[in-house]
Amino acid sequence: MKRGILSVIIGLVIATIIFLLFASINSLLHPTPTILNYNDGNATKGFYENQPLTFWVIVVVGWFNGSFLCGALIKQISENDNKKLPIIAGGILVLLAFTIFFTHAYPTWFIIAGLIISVR
């Protein structure tokens, strides 16, 4: 039981690190204007609407890699084929994704792709 809980925690931490790594790469390639006020919904929406496809592809690829690695680590660390542990981690990732979707003005296609990847 302890191994299962530990595997989920480690999987989620590593997934988060992967997400942040890809977000960092994205910010290097597509820097955010220093004058962008995230409290201004219209400004934030305008920023995200004007991002090129590569911006979104990098985020989706990061989410895919982080989610995949999370599941693989859970299986490896827990040393069993219990499907519940990856489902728990996937549920947590989906909840985190919803939090991001409601705090940022992401396009609808991106939200759908993110949810599909999160529950994969």
Compute the distance between CA of residue 107 and CA of residue 69 in angstroms, rounded to an integer.
Answer: 25
**Per-residue model confidence as pLDDT tens digits over 7-52:** 999 999 999 999 999 999 998 998 888 888 877 778 877 888 888 9
In the chain, how many H helices and how many E strands?
Answer: 5, 0
Tally of residues, the chain: 120
Task: For residue 36, tell me if it sits in a domain.
Answer: no
pLDDT surpasses 70 at 120: no
Q: Which domain holds residue 22?
A: 2-28+41-119
Domains identified in the chain, total number: 1
Paired tokens of 91: 């549920």
**pTM for this prediction:** 0.81
**Per-residue model confidence as pLDDT tens digits over 71-92:** 999 999 988 877 899 889 988 9
Task: For residue 48, tell me if it sits in a domain.
Answer: yes
**CA 5, 8, 13, 14 torsion-angle sign:** positive
List, in order, residues 6 or more apart from 74 with CB less than 8 Å away: 7, 8, 10, 11, 85, 86, 89
